[in-house]
Structure 1
Amino acid sequence: MNSLWTVMSFTMRTKLRNKAFLITTLVLAILLVVVGNLPTLLNKLESDKATKVGYVQGNHDELIQGLTVYYAKQEKPEVALVASNSEESLKTKLDDGDIKGYVTFEDNAAVGFPDVVYHAKSSLGSSTAQSLTLGLQVVKNDLVVKGLGLTPEQEALLNAPVTVKQEQVRFTNEAGKTPEEEGTAIGMTYIMIILLFMAVMITGQLIATEITAEKSSRVMEIIVTSVSPLKQMFGKILGTFVVGVTQMAILVSALVLNLVQQHNIDALKDMGVDLGAVDPKLIVFAVFFYLTGFFLYATLFAAVGSIVSRTEDLGQAILPITMLTLAGFYIAIFGLSHPEHAFIRICSFIPFFAPFLMFLRIGLTEPPVWEIALSIGILLAAIVLIGWLSAKIYRTGVLMYGKRPSFKELFKAMKAYKV
């Protein structure tokens, strides 16, 4: 046990004194401070000024008047209409930056309503064009209704908006999540997925790199005479884990301390996110899946690092693990908008993807208790099995030099050792 602690403490001191590690942590913390204040920054950068759109005066003035009334009813008008004498003068204003675009009308007797063209410097997807489309649709409906000679009561009934409220169905006695709670859950799930991905990629590669560097410098031959290979492996994993958790604690604190500022809380509420609506059970699951995901991948990185003799070959050796991590991350990103998809449900039982996907399902949906228990059981069993297998590989690999051993050579060597 003393030797295990010695390896842990040495790994921790080495990492915490590393200038690159400290600089990286500082830079990431500064970036997260900016991210934590992003809601307020976005609110301040959001322009309340309406987009100026030109039109030729005297051309379909009835439609222009209807659009003017439509935008006047908005709390924050999206468009401000600017009159001009000709299309040439509109082009000049567009070139000078006085307007963002202008509209022209072409009569269409077949539909009884003119075709409208929005001219701008870029024809790519424009929110202004979409806003004009909605506004003109309202104007067209008003003109058709007036032509039918309906009473004011009938017009009011026809134009009354239809309200559709969203509510999550819960199959327990608990109430369904409100839109604010769902928005908060999505945000927390997204952050958890990114943190787990960062932890696996950064700390896992640190473990593999350190082990390979010790082998390539022949320091490993000295270490194994005083510390058993198994204590080396788990000491490095636990030491790197403590360092990784410390780094994550600093980064999460930098983010949370800024998000809980009142100006950011108000800005988030405007976006439909309420930090006070975070479910405590979701935090517990976040910590659990973070820990299990880290140890699952850390043992794999340690095992692969032990069979590589040169650091130049490490990138190729850990590529399969990196691809597994990327697959879990991108499937989870897909699952944010499709949490009930059959593919997501199936993958949530695969141990390499479970830390990402089962947490996502818990955060965004209501999976049955037996599915959660089954996924966690498979994940814990996989950690034990992969940990045992990685220990055998590590014990064998740290003393095998030269070219990377084949699976047959590795298997024969592993049979000689018992773990």
Structure 2
Amino acid sequence: MNSMWTVMSFTMRNKLRSKSFIVTTIILGVLLCVGANVPYLLDKFASGGGPTKVGYAVSAQGEVQGEVGDIIKGLEMEFGKAEEQAVQLVPVEASGSPDEQAAALKQAISDKKIRGYLVFNPNEAAGFPDVTYYSKKMLDMDTAQALQNGLRTVKTEQAVKEANLSQEQLSKLFDPVKLESVQINESANGKTEEEQGTAIGLTYAILILLFMSVMITGQLIATEITAEKSSRVMEIIVTSVSPLKQLFGKVIGTFLVGLLQLVVLVGAALANLLQPHNRDSLESMGIRLDSIEPQMVIFAVLFYLIGFFLYAMLFAAVGSIVSRTEDLGQAVMPITILTLAGFYIAIFGLTQPDSALIKVCSFIPFFSPFIMFLRIGLANPAWWEIALSVAILAASVLLIGWLSAKIYRAGVLMYGKRPSVKDLIKAMKAFNV
């Protein structure tokens, strides 16, 4: 046992002292700090830019005659009601033929007086002009949507006036309908929209953390074992430490280093997210950190631990049968594909957490660390489903750990060409684990 702790502490010291680990942690920490402030920065830039200035043609006297003038007045009133004005209508002197008016409006865009302009074409059949919005920006969807909503409201108001409705009838017609979305939960009163938004955000964050942790630390384990084997250091190590103690020492040591790195990164992200300006921005998106359910955190830790050791054992076993680091990428490809499949199925499940594919995959051990946690956060599975998934996953970790130990015991001293499955089975039978 002492030799295993020696391997573990040696692995931890090497990782913590390496410049690559320190630089990577600092870079990831900075990126997470920036990412945690993205909602605030988006709000800041969005509000700081002001409304989009949209021009329309007026005569030399600054007038717009007829039906178009009424539409412009209606739009100005509609946009003025909003707390944050999305569009500001700007009159542009443009008289003469339609081509001359278009030239004057394009010149106003070049002079940066406006960002786009409206053109009204009569449509007697519809009883309302056809409106075209011209802009240099390819995908100016927000402005176009605001204009469309405003024009729809103006058209409705004109139709209502023609119908001679009373003020009471107008109020009933235009009062907004209040709709609150609540997720049904058999064990509680259900999740509100804010709790649903928080659950989605937390689930997405945990999925990414688990995926990154498995890929980064798993590759570290496999690379270190292969490097020791290719440099023949393994022959010296096995004379004083048994291969099994090496395996578990490296896996546990790398896990503790990865966990320390994860705590630092998550701490940096939370320290920024809990700042008042970021908290307000998240609440505007329907995410409240104080509404995170404790059981979500518990299940996140549980599936993170079990999922990590499941994949770490696989990476260690594969690393032990590769003699050159150049061949490691190809050897770990199947494990990488399994990890990517679990992650991308979970990303698909964010919008379809109750689909048959998600339910089936939540009981497959290679996918359940991602998928079952997703279902717990978004779909409220039955308690027996969670218990069954955890039991299958835990049994798989023990089975794969035992199998990986046999592979590691047989593979660490097998040099030259990568052994075939038949060679591995023959070598594994020679050792009892």
Instruction: Give TM class, smaller chain.
Output: over 0.9
Partner of 1:67: 75
CA distance in 2, matches of 1:36, 1:268: 10
Task: Give 3-state SS (helix, strand or coil) of 2:53's partner.
Answer: strand
CA distance in 2, matches of 1:134, 1:383: 56
1:261 to partner: Cα distance: 2.1
Partner of 2:93: 85
- Range 53-62 or range 71-80, more displaced: 53-62
1:19 to partner: Cα distance: 0.6
CA distance in 2, matches of 1:404, 1:123: 54
Partner of 1:241: 255
Residues 1:144 and 2:139 aligned together? no
Partner of 2:119: 104
CA distance in 2, matches of 1:378, 1:229: 27
- Structure 1 residues 262 and 124: CA distance shift in structure 2, 3 A: closer
Contact 2:92–2:108 (8 Å) recurs in 1: no
CA distance in 1, matches of 2:138, 2:162: 34
CA distance in 2, matches of 1:98, 1:223: 74
The 5 A counterparts of 1:92-171 are 92-124=107-139, 126-171=141-186
CA distance in 2, matches of 1:46, 1:285: 37
The 5 A counterparts of 1:369-388 are 369-388=383-402
In structure 1, runs of 5+ residues without a counterpart are: none
Partner of 2:349: 335
Partner of 1:287: 301
Residues 1:35 and 2:35 aligned together? yes
CA distance in 2, matches of 1:127, 1:38: 19
In structure 2, runs of 5+ residues without a counterpart are: 59-63, 95-101
Contact 2:39–2:282 (8 Å) recurs in 1: yes
1:409 to partner: Cα distance: 1.5
Q: TM-score, normalised by structure 2?
A: 0.94
Contact 2:180–2:193 (8 Å) recurs in 1: no
Partner of 2:411: 397
CA distance in 2, matches of 1:263, 1:111: 48
Task: Give 3-state SS (helix, strand or coil) of 1:163's partner.
Answer: coil
Task: Give 3-state SS (helix, strand or coil) of 2:47's partner.
Answer: coil
Task: Give 3-state SS (helix, strand or coil) of 1:47's partner.
Answer: helix
Task: Give 3-state SS (helix, strand or coil) of 1:102's partner.
Answer: strand
CA distance in 1, matches of 2:416, 2:245: 24
Partner of 1:216: 230
CA distance in 2, matches of 1:273, 1:326: 27
Partner of 1:3: 3
1:394 to partner: Cα distance: 0.7
Partner of 2:97: none
- Amino acid paired to 2:351: S
Residue in structure 2 matching 1:187, options 185, 198, 201: 201
CA distance in 2, matches of 1:224, 1:91: 78
Task: State percent identity of aligned pairs.
Answer: 61
User: Aligned residue pairs: how many?
Assistant: 418
1:125 to partner: Cα distance: 5.0
CA distance in 2, matches of 1:125, 1:98: 17
CA distance in 2, matches of 1:415, 1:263: 62
CA deviation profile, 1:263-319 (whole Å, cap 9, x unmatched) = 322222222211111111111111111101110000000000001000000000001
1:181 to partner: Cα distance: 1.4
